[in-house]
Chains A and B, each alone.
Chain A
Amino acid sequence: MLGRTMRMAGASAAAVLMMAGCAAEGSSKNQAPQQPLKVVGQFELHGLDPSTTGGFFTRLQVVETLVDADNQGVLQPGLATGWEASPDNRSWRFTLREGASFHDGTAVTAEAVAAALETARSKAASPFSTVPVKAVTAEGGAVRVDLTQPYAPLPAVLAHTSTQILAPSSYAADRTVTDVVGSGPYKVTRLEQPGTIELAVSEQWQDEKPPITEVHYQAVGRSESRALMAESGQADVTFGMDPTSLQRIKQAGKQDIEQVTLPRTILLKVNAGHEILGDVRVRQALSLALDREAMATALLRDPEMAATQLFPPSLPEWHQDNVTPLTHDVEEARKLLTEAGWVPGSDGTLEREGRKFSISLRTFPDRPELPLLATAIQAKLKELGVAVDVKVGNSSEIAAGHQDGSLELALFSRNYALVPDALVTLADDFAPNGADYGSMGWNNADLTSTLNTMATGAGTGSLEENRRTVTEIMHAELPVIPVAWYRQSAVVSKRVDGLVLDPLERSWRLTDLSWAK
């Protein structure tokens, strides 16, 4: 009986292994060139409209924007080969690349581009909607943008992914996007929301054909799963790795790791209109209490990412070498708080006039390091006598809290190069009335006038001087307290050569990749 049982068990095991063998046919271990390149990332696709796709289709090089940017953030030709402003800076003209076609075979006309930009302008989520535009029109084969007032960073805004140019066939009658028909080197062959996008080289692409002809993108939500896909060789390029998995993969040495410092900073947003946090000495004390180096080492596994100022070195035009670095000095923090009238209470929490120093901090888990950093901040501030209630919720609660005035502290990361010219994001974030992901209850006349001067291209002072002024004001006043900078990492299999990460996160540069010889 037992013998028969064992035979049956053996047969079952053999059947399972056969299934596995069949399923694994053509698996990653024996992948030959001309197999699709498999890219795995954490982001899902929740819509096709350029304002909601989070730059998916520019990263995958399916669509183009009028203006592109290189790894240093310097503007480059995209669908437009050149641009010029009128003498009064109120009208811009963008010349289109000759012979450019969309993937459906239709020509990229000035009319199609103008229509796509007008649609982008109507979307509240696009920075183009905040530009003082009067009209976007086609004129003699070029695209003309008329402004109600001068706006120097316009070309940079037209490099933002929400201004991508789609073919007329991408839109329904009501201008909702139903299909992604772009003009980039790759075209979409299959799209299965939320997680699968398949691409092939476009026949319409005029430039040199990319060495890798097919690409499959797969969204995978859990970082453990992404790490295992990278380790098993199932993925050729894996984005969004958590620090622990990255360290393990690095030690194993079977895959290459590509890294780049992003112009992204993890910030502690402070409600400066708050009765406690309105005092600049208190904000400085909170900043001094943070042991940034320890947090970067222990939680980000990357000590170099401890922020010494708002702008990371990856924003060389804004990063100031001669500014006094933000440091960790608990004694100095205590001194500042004592000056501000705070004394330790019976339970160790600071008090002033019967009011305890107790505040809430909102953050969200979409970036896994944020709740960890929030907990570390809570611990450090507790040492100082500040009670922090950490609330991990949805990112939108930060914007909602800003609007209804209930926000006290918030922890999030901000990319200052969403538009290649950081001035655009800064002018929004530190406007006199503040912004959801910028200042709150704080404004500084010098900062406002300097940013306005830079945006209109008028006034005195060189760009360098103005940038230094902006940085120094932020450094002294701390409307937001920098915590850490960001390093983007990708795990690359040995099958692939040529990956260089874009610090602006606009493109994955897939056309530069090739199969290893």
Chain B
Amino acid sequence: MQTPTARLQVPSGPAARILRQRTVQAAAVVLLVSTACFAIVQNLPGDIAFRIAAGRYGYDQVTAASADSVRAELGLDRPIWQQLLDWIADLLTFNLGNSLVTGADVAGELAFYLSSSTQLAVAALAIAFVTGATAGALAAARPGGAMDRITNLWVSGARALPPFLLGLVLILVFSVHLGVLPAAGHGEAGNIVLPAATLAVGLSGLFARVTRDTVVQVRESGYVHFAQTKDLSARLVFFRHVMRNTGVTLIAYVGVQVLILIEGVVIVESLFAWPGLGHALVHAIFWRDIPMIQATAVALALLVVALNTAVDLGSAAIDPRPRRREVVL
């Protein structure tokens, strides 16, 4: 006699599963990234003690005497494996150590640079998302229409302009000629507008394109046609079905773009003298400031994990498709 297959409906708990997987991933990433950074820095050309001394005392003040004192002070002549184990031991106690150049607490420095970069990225993303998604939705209303063609032009133009050049153009227009915004710097009102706009222009074009294509695709889908046959108003169909399904694609896309933003703002930070993670990482590598390099790289890696987690959770939350796992017993 055949035993009938019992189908048991269990709450899948996607959020808990995602968090479990990502926590394990985060731990592995921290270990791998920090070890890889350490190995790479040790194999870079040049004497680490001399580089650190150049960072500390200035480019034309570094001497053999200052490099020797740095070497002795920091124990750079200890075996490499011992230095790495010390750092990992500190990491396990959540101690990121001190910068070899500035002597400051790395965690404090990292928090400052990270918050600066995050501010810039969030502002850029907000501008890009609002302008891009609006333009994309409008373009999708009539594919091939005037707005669609304008958006196409905007996408091509925005992507073709390198951020450095675009930033210079914005400074020339809004600071030098109109005098309405500060050209560069940090800490004053308005400092964020131009760097955020520089990053947003390129991104907004992409958002417009993705939004437009997704909206068109979703409009053509069976469930939207079905919803329309139910006599729902066009507005209700758009927000309840089109936007919700478009959102799943957009959230995943935004996640990828944020990563590109956070890791790709070096040029913009440099042009606008914005003290962010890009600035910190470049300087740390230049000076061989190992704790700062490792901490910055680990922070960036964890950011990737955190964003992927957020994207997964966000997608799971708004995805209108059924959320049930069938467990065959």
Query: Which of B57, B69, B179 gathers the greatest number of chain A CB atoms within 10 Å?
Result: B57
A29 within 8 A of B: yes
Residues 105-146 of B, flagged 1 when their CB comes within 8 A of A and 0 if not, give: 000010010000000000000000011001000100110011
B36 within 8 A of A: no
Tell me the complex Cα distance, A2–B61, Å.
64
Residues 427-456 of A, flagged 1 when their CB comes within 8 A of B and 0 if not, give: 000000001110000000000000000000
Q: Which residues of B contact A141 (CB under 8 A)?
A: none
B239 within 8 A of A: no
B33 within 8 A of A: no
- Contact residues on A (Cβ < 8 Å of other chain), bracket: 35 or more
Tell me the complex Cα distance, A315–B142, Å.
74
Query: In the bound complex, do residue A234 and residue B185 qualify as a contact, i.e. CB atoms below 8 Å apart?
Result: yes
Tell me the complex Cα distance, A403–B50, Å.
11
Query: In the bound complex, do residue B56 and residue A47 qualify as a contact, i.e. CB atoms below 8 Å apart?
Result: yes
B25 within 8 A of A: no
Measured CB to CB, the closest approach of chain A to B103, in angstroms, equals 6
Measured CB to CB, the closest approach of chain A to B176, in angstroms, equals 5
Given contacts A47-B101, A393-B46, contact A228 B189 (CB under 8 A): no
Query: In the bound complex, do residue A1 and residue B142 qualify as a contact, i.e. CB atoms below 8 Å apart?
Result: yes
Tell me the complex Cα distance, A16–B127, Å.
10
Measured CB to CB, the closest approach of chain A to B181, in angstroms, equals 5
Tell me the complex Cα distance, A222–B272, Å.
8
B-side interface residues, number (CB < 8 Å): 63
Chain B residue at smallest Cβ distance from A46? B102
Query: In the bound complex, do residue B273 and residue A395 qualify as a contact, i.e. CB atoms below 8 Å apart?
Result: no
Query: In the bound complex, do residue A395 and residue B103 qualify as a contact, i.e. CB atoms below 8 Å apart?
Result: no
Our pick among A47, A229, A399 for the contact of B62 (Cβ within 8 Å) is: A399
Given contacts A2-B147, A193-B102, A224-B271, contact A396 B180 (CB under 8 A): no
Q: Which residues of A contact B109 (CB under 8 A)?
A: 193
Measured CB to CB, the closest approach of chain A to B191, in angstroms, equals 8
Chain A residue at smallest Cβ distance from B109? A193
Residues 238-266 of B, flagged 1 when their CB comes within 8 A of A and 0 if not, give: 00000000000000000000000000000
B313 within 8 A of A: no
Q: Which residues of B contact A395 (CB under 8 A)?
A: 54, 59-60, 62
Query: Which of B66, B174, B197 gathers the greatest number of chain A CB atoms within 10 Å?
Result: B66
A139 within 8 A of B: no
Query: In the bound complex, do residue A396 and residue B53 qualify as a contact, i.e. CB atoms below 8 Å apart?
Result: yes
A74 within 8 A of B: no
Question: In A385-422, which residues have CB < 8 Å from any B CB?
Answer: 393-397, 399-400, 402-403, 412-415
A54 within 8 A of B: yes
B309 within 8 A of A: no
Our pick among B47, B56, B183, B275 for the contact of A52 (Cβ within 8 Å) is: B56
Given contacts A23-B189, A220-B184, A397-B46, contact A437 B102 (CB under 8 A): no
Query: In the bound complex, do residue B182 and residue A234 qualify as a contact, i.e. CB atoms below 8 Å apart?
Result: yes
Tell me the complex Cα distance, A169–B16, Å.
51
A68 within 8 A of B: no
Given contacts A25-B189, A436-B63, contact A396 B182 (CB under 8 A): no
Our pick among B60, B64, B104 for the contact of A403 (Cβ within 8 Å) is: B64
Measured CB to CB, the closest approach of chain B to A368, in angstroms, equals 12
Q: Which residues of B contact A23 (CB under 8 A)?
A: 180-182, 189-190, 193
Our pick among A54, A124, A222 for the contact of B65 (Cβ within 8 Å) is: A124
Q: Which residues of B contact A403 (CB under 8 A)?
A: 64
Q: Which residues of B contact A52 (CB under 8 A)?
A: 56-58
Tell me the complex Cα distance, A63–B210, Å.
57
Tell me the complex Cα distance, A384–B63, Å.
33
Query: In the bound complex, do residue A196 and residue B186 qualify as a contact, i.e. CB atoms below 8 Å apart?
Result: yes
Tell me the complex Cα distance, A219–B179, Å.
21
Query: Which of B58, B109, B131 gathers the greatest number of chain A CB atoms within 10 Å?
Result: B58
Given contacts A195-B186, A400-B50, contact A8 B181 (CB under 8 A): no
Our pick among B58, B141, B185, B190 for the contact of A27 (Cβ within 8 Å) is: B190
Measured CB to CB, the closest approach of chain A to B240, in angstroms, equals 22
Residues 302-325 of B, flagged 1 when their CB comes within 8 A of A and 0 if not, give: 000000000000000000000000
Measured CB to CB, the closest approach of chain A to B117, in angstroms, equals 14
Given contacts A234-B182, A395-B54, contact A414 B60 (CB under 8 A): yes
Measured CB to CB, the closest approach of chain B to A484, in angstroms, equals 15
Tell me the complex Cα distance, A8–B112, Å.
37
Q: Which residues of A contact B102 (CB under 8 A)?
A: 46-47, 193-194
B295 within 8 A of A: no
B270 within 8 A of A: yes
Measured CB to CB, the closest approach of chain B to A425, in angstroms, equals 11
Tell me the complex Cα distance, A399–B47, Å.
10
Given contacts A47-B101, A125-B57, contact A228 B171 (CB under 8 A): yes
Query: In the bound complex, do residue B183 and residue A232 qualify as a contact, i.e. CB atoms below 8 Å apart?
Result: yes
Chain B residue at smallest Cβ distance from A226? B184
Measured CB to CB, the closest approach of chain B to A449, in angstroms, equals 24
Measured CB to CB, the closest approach of chain B to A372, in angstroms, equals 17
Given contacts A20-B193, A23-B190, contact A234 B175 (CB under 8 A): yes
B326 within 8 A of A: no
Given contacts A124-B68, A193-B104, A395-B62, contact A222 B271 (CB under 8 A): yes
Query: Which of A196, A399, A435, A437 gathers the greatest number of chain B CB atoms within 10 Å?
Result: A399
B67 within 8 A of A: yes
Given contacts A46-B102, A193-B104, A196-B187, contact A20 B174 (CB under 8 A): yes
Our pick among A21, A40, A228 for the contact of B176 (Cβ within 8 Å) is: A228
Query: In the bound complex, do residue B179 and residue A5 qualify as a contact, i.e. CB atoms below 8 Å apart?
Result: no
Query: In the bound complex, do residue B63 and residue A221 qualify as a contact, i.e. CB atoms below 8 Å apart?
Result: no
Question: In A345-402, which residues have CB < 8 Å from any B CB?
Answer: 364, 366-367, 393-397, 399-400, 402
Our pick among B66, B142, B172 for the contact of A124 (Cβ within 8 Å) is: B66
A selection of 8 A-B contacts at a CB cut-off of 8 Å is: A12-B130, A25-B189, A52-B58, A54-B58, A129-B65, A394-B51, A400-B64, A437-B63
**9 smallest beta-carbon distances between A and B, as pairs:** A23-B190, A396-B50, A232-B175, A395-B59, A396-B54, A220-B273, A24-B180, A124-B69, A366-B59
- 10 further A-B pairs in the complex, CB-CB below 8 A; given A125-B66, A192-B112, A399-B67: A1-B142, A51-B57, A52-B56, A54-B61, A124-B69, A125-B63, A176-B103, A229-B184, A234-B183, A234-B185
